[in-house]
Amino acid sequence: MFGKALTSGKLLVTYAAAFVDPTMITGGAATLETLSAAYSSLAGKNSELSKLAAEIDKAFNAKLKTLTKPDDAQVILPQMLEAAGQHLDFAKNGLNADAILESITKGLTSKDYSRAHHTAFSNLIGPLVRDICADPRIEAAIRPQLTQEMFKRQQINDEKLDRILANSDTSRDELELIANRFDIMGAHSLSPTDLRQLLTQKAEEYRNLKSELKDLRSKFPQLGNVVAEALALLDGEKVDTKAVRAMVQDARKTLRKSVLDGLTQNAELAEVEAQTYLFGK
């Protein structure tokens, strides 16, 4: 069994959170020590997680008593839950209960676990993991990580960005993550209204800069590689206008060497460079 430090409920809550932010398991080793430290860190930031973990632990033990299971399941099933953590693939699936359950069961390779053990384990753990993933308390506790993963997993196009900024229910954490992506300093000191207005302005400048680059690519196909690299930098986890500006400046220097052919392109690049100064530092 787990002992006082890490109950079944705490362990399952930590598994779910680690799927969103695998870095909370240092070095990728999900030992009881690292899992306990990760849970303590989470619960320290959100006291509601302690309540959720206690509820899940109570449900785990109550269901364990009534579950159809082998005679030794009272001992083996908690051991299976602990053993699963040593082999979990903490892929970034958000709060995807099916992905978490699949990863948990993949780690149970010991020959000591019979088919009856596996069936009982799935019947015990499955509903609990689904309850955790559907609980608003776990979502609220790790919303910043969920939002970061949203930005990493999918490009935030203009429409999605507008929708996030226009939504009055968008959390402060989400707004500050967008500010971080746009490399805006001091966002935490702004009022929600001022922060939203600033982000809306930056979103417009961001769109204009991308539009300028795409126009450049359509007019001058020979600049396609430069434009593609610049757009990739703008669509990254953090908008890197300094790097985009450096690329544009290098392209302009190259074009100056062939003055007659490069004059028009150079003028267009100058406009893009000006946009980078407008958008960011």
Q: Are 191 and 106 within one domain?
A: no
Report whether 188 contacts 176 (CB < 8 A).
Answer: yes
Q: What is the structure's pLDDT at 159?
A: 67
Q: Are 255 and 167 within one domain?
A: yes
Residue 151 in domain: no
Q: Are 88 and 172 within one domain?
A: no
Q: Are 121 and 184 within one domain?
A: no
Residue 179 in domain: yes
Q: Are 19 and 132 within one domain?
A: yes
Q: Are 83 and 184 within one domain?
A: no
Q: Are 163 and 109 within one domain?
A: no
Structure tokens at 60: 């785990």
Residue that terminates a domain, selected from 141, 171, 203:
141
Q: What is the structure's pLDDT at 37?
A: 80
Residue 248 in domain: yes
For residue 128, which of 64, 184, 172, 84 has the smallest C-alpha distance? 64
Spell out the per-residue pLDDT of the chain, length 281, in tens: 444 456 888 888 888 887 777 767 655 556 777 777 888 877 777 788 888 989 998 998 888 888 888 888 888 888 888 887 766 666 556 678 888 888 888 878 888 899 999 999 999 889 998 998 888 888 777 766 666 665 555 455 566 677 778 877 777 877 877 887 777 888 878 888 898 888 888 888 888 888 888 887 777 777 778 778 888 877 766 777 788 778 777 776 665 655 445 445 556 656 666 666 656 55
Residue that terminates a domain, selected from 141, 166, 183:
141
Q: Are 122 and 43 within one domain?
A: yes
* Residue 92 burial class via C-beta count within 10 angstroms: exposed 0-12, middle 13-18, buried 19 and up: middle
HSE-up (13 A, CA, CB side) for residue 263: 2
Q: Are 112 and 48 within one domain?
A: yes
Q: Are 123 and 63 within one domain?
A: yes
For residue 17, which of 116, 139, 128, 102 has the smallest C-alpha distance? 139
| Backbone φ and ψ of 205, nearest 5° | -65, -35
For residue 133, which of 99, 103, 96 has the smallest C-alpha distance? 96
Residue 169 in domain: yes
For residue 69, which of 19, 125, 109, 15 has the smallest C-alpha distance? 125
Q: Are 163 and 48 within one domain?
A: no
Residue 267 in domain: yes
Q: What is the structure's pLDDT at 87?
A: 64
Q: What is the structure's pLDDT at 59?
A: 92
Residue 257 in domain: yes
List the domain range (segments joined by +) for residue 66: 8-141
Q: Are 185 and 274 within one domain?
A: yes
Number of structural domains the chain divides into: 2
Residue 146 in domain: no
* Residue 198 burial class via C-beta count within 10 angstroms: exposed 0-12, middle 13-18, buried 19 and up: middle
Residue 59 in domain: yes
* Residue 117 burial class via C-beta count within 10 angstroms: exposed 0-12, middle 13-18, buried 19 and up: buried
Residue that terminates a domain, selected from 76, 111, 141:
141
